[in-house]
Amino acid sequence: MQKILIVDDEPHICRLLQFNLERYGFEVLVGHNGKEGVKIARKEKPDVILLDIMMPKMNGIEACAILKTDLKTKHIPIFMLTALSRVGDMEDAFEAGADGYIAKPFPATEIAQEVRWRLAKLAEKK
């Protein structure tokens, strides 16, 4: 069973994602800010991380950069999950090491398929 870490400060987004991902057989972990997300990722080593950008304590760009420079977590695919959709925001996410970008709002019922598709695309590149 693949393990997904959701890091988002909006509880309703976390619940919605968790419900839909668990329906498709993923194990789901949840963090509510960047610092918490980094801590959970280092401890649990998920297969993929869905990371919001705008969060308290540490934003998603900072969290992504930390995780992508840590030998224990740099291999984990990180998909930024955010309402920010300016070109500069995407560039910042990719410069921090993000593997993909999913814009909010997104169809919650399709998030599992989206994650699987993106993971397959990453595997093809390797």
Domains, the chain, in order of start with CATH, read: 3-125 (3.40.50.2300)
Provide the pLDDT for residue 87. 66
d(CA 32, CA 84): 18
Provide the pLDDT for residue 101. 84
Q: Which two tokens stand for residue 5?
A: 């870490």
pLDDT in tens, the chain (126 residues): 889 999 999 999 999 999 999 999 999 999 999 999 999 999 999 999 999 998 989 999 999 999 999 999 999 999 998 776 666 778 888 999 999 888 777 777 778 888 888 888 877 776
pTM above 0.85, yes or no: yes
